[in-house]
Amino acid sequence: MTDILRFSLEVRRSTSQAPFWILDIVMCRQMLTWASGTGDETQVCGGTDLISVYQDPTFPTVDDLDISDYQTLGCYHEGTNGKSLAWRQDQVASTDLTLEKCLSACKVGGYAFAGVEFGSECYCGVVLGNGTLAVSTSQCDMACTGNPNQKCGGRDTLNLYVASDLESTEPCGGPNPPAVSSSSSTSSSSSTASSSSSTVHSSSSTASSIM
Q: What pLDDT, on a 0 to 100 scale, did the predictor assign at position 165?
A: 81
Quick one: 12 and 98 in the same domain?
no
Within a domain: 108: yes
Number of domains in the chain: 2
Quick one: 76 and 37 in the same domain?
no
Confidence bin at 180 (pLDDT 50/70/90): low
Q: What pLDDT, on a 0 to 100 scale, did the predictor assign at position 123?
A: 97
Beta strands in the chain, from DSSP E residues, in sequence order: 70-77, 87-88, 113-117, 121-125, 133-134, 143-144, 147-151, 157-163, 184-186, 198-200
Average pLDDT over residues 59-83: 88
Quick one: 191 and 104 in the same domain?
yes
191 three-class SS: coil
Within a domain: 60: no
Q: Which of 94, 84, 91 is nearest to 115 (CA)?
A: 84
Quick one: 17 and 85 in the same domain?
no
Quick one: 11 and 75 in the same domain?
no
- More confident position, 192 or 20: 20
Within a domain: 65: no
Confidence bin at 19 (pLDDT 50/70/90): very low
Q: With 70 as the cut, is the pLDDT of residue 155 above it?
A: yes
Chain Cα centroid distance, residue 43: 31
User: What are 71's strand-pairing partners?
Assistant: 162
Quick one: 180 and 87 in the same domain?
yes
Quick one: 123 and 19 in the same domain?
no
Give the ranges where 26-122 is alpha helix by DSSP (H): 32-36, 99-109
CB neighbours of residue 195 within 10 Å: 19
Within a domain: 77: yes
Q: What pLDDT, on a 0 to 100 scale, did the predictor assign at position 187?
A: 38
Q: What pLDDT, on a 0 to 100 scale, did the predictor assign at position 2?
A: 41
Quick one: 92 and 11 in the same domain?
no
CB neighbours of residue 189 within 10 Å: 14
Average pLDDT over residues 4-25: 43
Express as a percent the part of the chain with pLDDT over 90: 42
- More confident position, 116 or 4: 116
- Please provide the average confidence, as pLDDT, over all residues in the chain: 73
Quick one: 77 and 41 in the same domain?
no
Within a domain: 209: no
Within a domain: 11: yes
Confidence bin at 107 (pLDDT 50/70/90): very high
Within a domain: 169: yes
CB neighbours of residue 129 within 10 Å: 17
Least confident of 45-49, 94-98, 164-168: 164-168
Query: What range defines the domain where residue 10 resides?
Result: 1-54
Q: With 90 as the cut, is the pLDDT of residue 94 above it?
A: yes
Confidence bin at 22 (pLDDT 50/70/90): low
Quick one: 115 and 28 in the same domain?
no
Q: What pLDDT, on a 0 to 100 scale, did the predictor assign at position 10?
A: 39
User: What is the C-alpha separation between 179 and 181, in angstroms, rounded?
Assistant: 6
pTM higher than 0.75: no
Within a domain: 20: yes
User: What is the C-alpha separation between 85 and 134, in angstroms, rounded?
Assistant: 14
Quick one: 7 and 86 in the same domain?
no
Q: With 70 as the cut, is the pLDDT of residue 79 above it?
A: yes
Q: Do residues 118 and 142 make contact, with C-beta atoms less than 8 angstroms apart? A: yes
Quick one: 97 and 41 in the same domain?
no
Average pLDDT over residues 169-188: 52
Average pLDDT over residues 30-51: 70
Q: Please, how many CA atoms are within 13 Å of residue 179, restricted to the half-sphere of its CB?
A: 3
